[in-house]
Structure 1
Amino acid sequence: MIEPEMEELTDLERLQAQILHRIAKLELSILPPSKNSPNNDLPTTTATEARLSAVLVDGGVNDFSFKRVPSDYYDWSYEARRDILGAASIHHLCKSIVLVNTQAASNITDCSDRENSKYYVVVVQYTARFSADAVKNFLYSLNNGKIPKKRFNLRLAPEEISHKLTGYEHNGVTCVGMKTDIPVILDEAIVKLHPDFFWLGGGEIDLKLGIRTSEFINFAKPFIVNCSGS
């Protein structure tokens, strides 16, 4: 009979092995730094990447990948970004944005009520036109009309607030391993993508995370909302 302490040790060892295996695979997929980069001695695996890998594995996510991109990545066309990541299409390139409800009641100051939160993280395609009104209408319906619609006014959170809540800088924001447990809204268009593997920020400006959509949904437990147009 296995003692409880031994069972716990075995589970920890198995989790550690999974993380180390994942990191080893990630190291092989890391892209070299841009030839214009002044620092050619960048580490292949950063603390952020290792931490997020552990968070994902611990959350039951198996199909994910990190890729490092050159420093001028955001000057590139969507087609070039697609190619360097190996994404299926430009529509598979997504971003996480932090929204603040500027008209929330004075007692709504945090994210403790995910149905009526002060802040939300929305994951949306770069190629889509985000609609704050669609999110407003969704939240109004989510609360069964008990909260006046005028109490929902979603706007992009100031960069310093986004950084404080998530721990990530602009262009590095991801909804994995955030400092604050902010409710996530996933644009419905991403769920409809084929193949179902999309890319988003990876916690650092030049680090991107690719993840299986179904596993992301199981992990992040997002509200799935039609909140964009082409």
Structure 2
Amino acid sequence: IRSGTARHWKNGNVHKKRQPRQTTESTEENERCRSVAGGEDEIGAEWKRHWQSWRGFKPESSNVYRIVEAEVAVSHLPPSQARAIVQPEAAGVSSIVQGLSELELESDTEARLSSILRSNGVKEFNFKRVPSDYYDWPLEARRDALAAPSVHHLCKSIVLVNTQAQSNVADCSDPNNSKYYVVVVQYSARFNAESVKNFLYSLNDGKIAKKKFNLRLAPEETSVKLTGYEHNAVTCIGMKTDIPVILDEAITKLNPDFFWLGGGDVDLKLGIRTSDFINSVKPFIVRCSGS
């Protein structure tokens, strides 16, 4: 970022002129040195716009401003020495550029899931980012962060595997007798795998022996492979695999008719009306938890 533009960020430097460098090295070398600090004026303006979009932006504490300060401070040095001083600050900005790209990538998750929900006729839903240490908090603090009516409105999606499935059951092609299921249950409730086992036995009219149903938590790598979402980010919307979903009956009785679950990123949560979730995902509704 050339100081000609960036100096406007600090009062008192607007009218200062850069002193000519005392060097015998070529003009081409000087220009290369300037490029370490950022490039053309329009790039400086673009960086200013990016940085000012961040909450609590303070030019005097930013890496960008430090580059400008460094460039002014070394303007009298030969380019080779000036570069050695300015380059570490420029490297810091490179990491910021990468961070911005990651944020843009994360926002793609929200856009993709929003598109899926709208295409399924869901109009009322909400995404909310939470701090990185969210899962270290007690349920009451998580409730407050999401402005949820109660801790019972906080839910999770877990991937289960039928470890005793028949040898010909290896995927999710038959929702009545699938190798894997996703269960949505409240954080405040105790999941009861035996209830799911009994439900699946009845769903198949008793034609499959009850001992062929044994639901256990799937390994994390299996969950990631099937859903496309990492631990604490799993959601039933937009999964890689069309896994049958089981919704705990207790969630359908929540008042108000709205609950929170994972949103595809660890720090992204999705709030949705229970009725809209049921119409969109079409889960089995099973009483599979206790307090």
Shift of 1:192: 0.3
What secondary structure sits across from 1:175 in the alignment? coil
Residue 103 of structure 2 corresponds to: 43
Residue 4 of structure 1 corresponds to: none
What secondary structure sits across from 2:103 in the alignment? coil
- The one-letter amino acid paired with 1:63 is E
Question: Within 1, Cα distance between the matches of 2:118 and 2:149?
Answer: 24
Question: Within 2, Cα distance between the matches of 1:158 and 1:196?
Answer: 32
1:99-114 alignment to 2 at 5 Å?
99-114=160-175
- The one-letter amino acid paired with 1:101 is N
- The one-letter amino acid paired with 1:60 is G
108, 125, 128: which one pairs with 2:186? Answer: 125
Question: Within 1, Cα distance between the matches of 2:171 and 2:138?
Answer: 37
Shift of 1:69: 0.1
Question: Within 2, Cα distance between the matches of 1:218 and 1:98?
Answer: 21
Shift of 1:43: 3.5
Residue 205 of structure 1 corresponds to: 266
* Corresponding position: 1:221 with 2:286: no
167, 174, 179: which one pairs with 2:228? Answer: 167
Residue 52 of structure 1 corresponds to: 113
Structure whose residues are more often strand by fraction: 1
Which of these two proteins has the greater Rg computed from alpha carbons?
A: 2
Shift of 1:143: 0.5
The CA RMSD measured in Å over matched residues stands at: 1.6
Structure whose residues are more often helix by fraction: 2
Which ranges in structure 1 are unaligned for 5 or more consecutive residues?
A: 1-31, 33-37
Shift of 1:86: 0.8
Residue 192 of structure 1 corresponds to: 253
Question: Within 2, Cα distance between the matches of 1:47 and 1:158?
Answer: 27
Shift of 1:178: 0.1
Aligned residues: 194
TM-score by length of 1: 0.82
Shift of 1:199: 0.1
Runs of 4 or more, structure 1, over 4 Å off, are 38-42
Residue 203 of structure 2 corresponds to: 142
Aligned residues: percent identity? 75
* Corresponding position: 1:90 with 2:151: yes
Question: Within 2, Cα distance between the matches of 1:150 and 1:165?
Answer: 25
What secondary structure sits across from 1:203 in the alignment? coil
210, 215, 223: which one pairs with 1:154? Answer: 215
What secondary structure sits across from 1:57 in the alignment? helix
Higher relative contact order (CA 8 A, sep 6+): 1
TM-superposition CA deviations, 1:162-183 (whole Å, max 9, x none): 0000000000000100000000
Question: Within 2, Cα distance between the matches of 1:99 and 1:203?
Answer: 18
TM-score by length of 2: 0.65
